[in-house]
Amino acid sequence: MTNLGKANRNRGWIVVAICFGVMAFTFGARSSVSMLLPIWQEELDCSGSQAARGASIVLIMMALLSPVAGNLMDRYNARLVIVIGLTALASGIGATSFVTDPVYYYLLFGVVGGVGWAFVSIPMITAAVSGYFERMRGLAIGIAVSGASGGQLPILSGLGILIAAIGWRASYQFLALIVAALAILVLFWFKPPRGESRSSQPSRVDDLDTLTERIKFLMVNRTFLLLLGAFTLCGFTTAGVIDVYFIPYAISCGFTLVEGSTAYGFHGLGNLAGVVLFSWMADHVHRPRLLASMFFLRALTFVLLLFIEADIGLMFMFAVIFGTLNFATFPVIANIVATHLGVRILGLTLGLLFGGHSLGAAVGVSIGGWMFDLTAKYSWIWLLSIVLAALAGVFAILVEEIRPKRTEGGLVDGMVK
């Protein structure tokens, strides 16, 4: 195994810190859609489903481009991919602040912004950080990815206050400047690791040199297909409906924008706790059963969501519990992927899985908007989500557990646990 030196570890922790900030602001920007849907309906003179279409286009772009970004990261380097993503995201968000027509909103927020979110996502950050570490790889990835959850409380709550104070257009312009500054930071401080960053142990995917060969290998792999099915349904029930419709639903229940956005921020704190807890559990318990139990519990939380109108405390309780079960599914899935398929095609594999997640989310956004336009209620989308979350649990429990042998020094299939 390659022994990554002190220089790589030092570079790695700088990258972890940068990635934490990148995740916080990119996920905060994406989650802001939930706050802005009612405003966009009024200012752009469109229906709920039309306003949500921009978010749906983002998710379609992520579904299409996540595998491309993952393959580019496997072939080239993380800095290139992340700089492209942040530049596109800053351009999309900044330009969106000037739109007055839904068509330009779809093009700028949906297409241009969608490129950014596809190239800067949890799978890309996971693959990027992995190359700097052998020891403490899991800890490093957990800290970097936690920016997507823990960073949301201050950023999303602050953005909600900023929108209330100066309006969404000026707030988006300010957010675009921050994202552009992050792109510059990555360009100058995100130095690639020295030497070979992958395991030197032989792998059954070592000889798959072309993208076509790698995709063919994955498309006949039972574990990959089951995880793809589970993670696609996961996308429907999280990014597709909760990320987009939770705050509008809270407002329809009589809560204010600030109360709804703050509750969603607590959902981010739940994410942070869940990522740490379930990442640790994945090293000690049967991982497919763990993943399945998370999806089954998520189905139950949607039942709780149906009753939040009764009490603001119940809304915050749902946000924390759901958050604990939200992002935490990804490190468990990544853990399974690493031991079943190896790290040499980690970027592509996670990119394809995230593409399925985004496609499921896009369907969720569209169906959620259609159901609301038809019934003027959000309860039907929550009921559908109960069924789909439970089905994701069924897919997960069908995955075969393969625990690699632990060798001296704690190495597992070339990865330090």
Question: 402, 322 in Cβ contact below 8 A?
Answer: no
Fold for the domain defined by 6-192+208-407: Growth Hormone; Chain: A; (1.20.1250)
> What integer best gives the mean pLDDT of the chain?
83
What DSSP assignment string belongs to 77-111?
Answer: -HHHHHHHHHHHHHHHHHHHTT--SHHHHIIIIII
pLDDT tens readout for residues 81-134: 999 999 999 999 999 999 888 889 899 998 999 999 999 988 888 878 877 766
pTM over 0.85: no
pLDDT tens readout for residues 310-350: 789 999 999 999 999 988 898 788 878 877 887 677 778 88
**DSSP class of residue 195?**
S
Question: 351, 69 in Cβ contact below 8 A?
Answer: yes
Question: Beta-carbon neighbour count of residue 309 at 10 Å?
Answer: 15
Which helix or strand (DSSP H or E) is residue 412 part of?
strand 411-412
410 has a pLDDT exceeding 70:
no
**DSSP class of residue 310?**
G
Which helix or strand (DSSP H or E) is residue 416 part of?
strand 415-416
